[in-house]
């Protein structure tokens, strides 16, 4: 694997030397204004040694403290702009979205692994607009999602059953449920008790996506000419990895769609995102491509926020029992003991709603966002942002910025409720799903899944710390590094709240 931190110094010097040669060949032009401030680089190679590889959002936050809300580095001629301010991110990525909505060609993830066709990495253009049009029609609003509410509720009820039976397998249950929901919506595929092949496939693809899109994880993204080197070249093992991962991507896109077509031909297909795009149409090659990859984008990418947010919710409830009790008291008062919460209760549960918001703020699922690419030279706040620059919004810091959130290290849902004549703090959903024309198309689905999982789990479970040998074990809050961040595994205890709660869990859960 050609990961910069694991490469030998001989390999690095060899590759940097080739990169320097290429940089020296590149034409130069007079800057229209100064670059934003940032750490000083070396001659020719720039900041190649400054690029952070583990939890880069922490380094980016340090740059923000030292250089201001917008900072700049250059890596072998590639300009990178880091943004640590919600206002600047919105000014750039929302208000100037026509210029700031491009994507860089990721040579490992996009070209070698084959992920360039999924929505999140798609270059800006007509095909992207078609994907987003399909997404908006099916899951673009809470109202559009209403048709899928029964799926969310039934699958979450099944989740409660699995957690009750095997509480020590919480992570697996969360992944199973997220996969079951998204597969039913994307391809009409109903997952049985054990993970079906498509759930495992999505898990594998998502893990590979996170690993190969992490900034600077693979040297080929810094030195693109390496894509053409032979496999015997020093540290070219990334080419073998790319071949293996490419097979996963191809199967992820093709296999579920084939299942939909087979079921439609047999007259037994469930209503789904894919079937609605296929029904009654003869597709051109381009239309077939858009259907296959937009459905794959929903299926492959639609679980990560839910999995991370739900696991983060259980971690937060383990650490903050007082918050758990307040939410449970609200659910008990509004819903009562004789049924599970449903989406119909959402407007009547403001504290539970605030709790979901705080989970999304507290654990940034995508801490640094997939970088935007600038499609033409631009001047922003007096700084020169050259064409081709990568813009990295530091979402983690924005969700922990004391200028936006009081005491950001504190887990406090009440920050999102009016109090003492003050309005609620900024809704984290305006930040955590990205910005502009590249905002996450599945944000409403992710939000709905996180809410119903939170409400149902609180209604029937008590979540607490584990006691071992008379000692209470306090989990560590330590999110994993990568494009998609999850809390690291932790110890917990989950039990039914009462005999009535046990009865609710054990009721049938069917469509």
**Of residues 107, 134, 137, 100, the one with CA closest to residue 218:** 107
Give 435's DSSP letter.
-
Distance CA(103)–CA(388), nearest Å, equals 9
Burial of 390 (0-12, 13-18, 19+ CB in 10 A): buried
For residue range 431-440, what is the model confidence (pLDDT) as tens digits?
A: 999 999 898 8
Short-list 264, 279, 292, CA closest to 131: 292
Q: Is residue 57 part of a domain?
A: yes
Mean pLDDT of 133-160: 89
In this model, does residue 66 exceed pLDDT 90? yes
Map residue 28 onto helix, strand or coil. Answer: coil
Domain count, the chain: 1
- For residue 468, the cross-strand partners are 471
Q: How confident is the model at residue 18 (pLDDT cuts 50, 70, 90)?
A: low
Q: Quote the pLDDT of residue 206.
A: 77
CB atoms within 10 A of CB 496: 18
**Is residue 183 in a domain?**
yes
Q: Is the pLDDT reported for residue 1 higher than 60?
A: no
pLDDT value at position 218?
A: 82
For residue 129, the 8-state DSSP code is: H
Distance between alpha carbon 113 and the CA centroid of its chain, in Å?
Answer: 19
Quote the domain boundaries for residue 49.
4-506
Dihedral, CA of residue 172, residue 174, residue 177 and residue 182, to nearest 10: -110
Query: Which phi and psi (to 5°) does residue 230 adopt?
Result: -70, 160
- Let me know if residue 170 belongs to a domain: yes
How does pLDDT run across 463-477, given as a tens digit for each residue? Answer: 999 999 989 999 999
Answer whether residue 511 is part of any domain. Answer: no
Share of the chain above pLDDT 70, in %: 92
8 Å CB contact between 246 and 114 = yes
Q: What confidence tens digit (pLDDT) does each residue in 263-285 have?
A: 999 999 988 889 988 988 888 99
H-assigned helices in 40-196: 56-67, 86-89, 126-139, 142-145, 149-165, 170-187
Asked if residue 371 belongs to a domain, the reply is yes
* 384 strand-pairing partners: 379
Assign residue 390 the CATH number of its domain.
1.10.630.10
Q: Which residue has the higher pLDDT, 104 or 95?
A: 95
Does residue 93 contact residue 100 with C-beta atoms inside 8 Å? yes
What gap in Å lies between CA 47 and CA 63, rounded to an integer?
13
Residue 134 counted as domain residue: yes
The pLDDT tens digits for 342-374 are 999 999 999 999 999 999 999 999 999 889 999
Q: Please state the pTM of the whole predicted model.
A: 0.89
Residue 113 falls within a domain, yes or no?
A: yes
In contact, 205 and 252? CB cutoff 8 Å: yes
Q: Which of 14, 1, 199 is nearest to 113 (CA)?
A: 1
202 closest CA partner among 252, 254, 272:
252
């Amino acid at each position: 694997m050609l990961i910069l931190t694991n490469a030998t110094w001989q390999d690095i010097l060899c590759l940097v030397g080739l990169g320097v040669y290429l940089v020296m060949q590149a034409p130069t032009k007079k800057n229209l204004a100064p670059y934003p401030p940032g750490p000083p680089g070396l001659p020719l190679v720039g900041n190649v040694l400054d690029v952070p590889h583990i939890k880069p959002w922490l380094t980016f936050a340090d740059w923000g403290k030292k250089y201001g809300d917008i900072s700049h580095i250059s890596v072998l001629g590639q300009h990178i702009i880091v943004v640590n301010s919600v206002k600047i991110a919105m000014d750039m990525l929302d208000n100037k979205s026509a210029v700031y909505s491009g994507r860089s060609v990721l040579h490992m993830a996009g070209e070698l692994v084959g992920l360039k066709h999924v929505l999140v990495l798609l270059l800006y253009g007509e095909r992207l607009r078609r994907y987003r049009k399909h997404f908006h029609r099916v899951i673009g609003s809470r109202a559009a999602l209403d048709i899928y509410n029964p799926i969310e509720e039934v699958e979450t009820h099944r989740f409660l059953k699995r957690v009750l039976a095997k509480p020590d397998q919480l992570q697996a249950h969360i992944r199973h449920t997220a996969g079951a929901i998204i597969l039913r919506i994307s391809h009409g595929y109903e997952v049985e008790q054990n993970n079906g092949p498509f759930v495992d496939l999505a898990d594998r693809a998502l893990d590979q996506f996170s690993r190969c899109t992490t900034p600077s994880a693979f040297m080929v993204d810094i030195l693109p000419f390496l894509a053409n080197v032979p496999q015997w070249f020093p540290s070219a093992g990334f080419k073998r990895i790319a071949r293996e991962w490419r097979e996963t991507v191809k199967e992820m896109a093709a296999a579920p769609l084939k299942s939909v077509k087979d079921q439609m031909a047999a007259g037994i297909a469930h209503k789904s995102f894919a079937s609605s795009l296929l029904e009654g149409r003869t597709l051109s090659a381009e239309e077939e491509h858009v259907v296959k990859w937009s459905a794959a984008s929903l299926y492959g990418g639609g679980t990560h926020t839910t999995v991370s947010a739900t696991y983060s919710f259980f971690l937060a409830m383990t650490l903050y029992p007082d918050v758990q009790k307040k939410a449970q008291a609200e659910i008990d008062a509004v819903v009562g003991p004789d049924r599970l919460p449903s989406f119909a209760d959402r407007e009547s549960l403001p504290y539970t709603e605030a709790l979901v918001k705080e989970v999304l703020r507290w654990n940034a699922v995508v801490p640094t966002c997939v970088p935007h690419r600038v499609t033409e030279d631009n001047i922003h706040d007096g700084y020169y942002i050259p064409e081709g620059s990568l813009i990295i919004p530091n979402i983690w810091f924005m969700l922990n910025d004391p200028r936006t959130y009081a005491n950001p290290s504190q887990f406090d849902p009440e920050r999102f409720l009016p109090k003492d004549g003050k309005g609620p703090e900024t809704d984290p959903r305006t930040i955590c799903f990205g910005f502009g024309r590249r905002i996450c198309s599945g944000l409403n689905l992710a939000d709905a899944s996180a809410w119903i999982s939170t409400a149902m789990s609180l209604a029937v479970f008590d979540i607490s710390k584990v006691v071992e040998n008379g000692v209470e074990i306090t989990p560590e809050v330590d999110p994993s590094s990568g494009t998609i961040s999850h809390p690291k595994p932790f110890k917990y205890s989950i039990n039914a709240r009462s005999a009535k709660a046990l009865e609710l869990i054990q009721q049938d859960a069917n469509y």
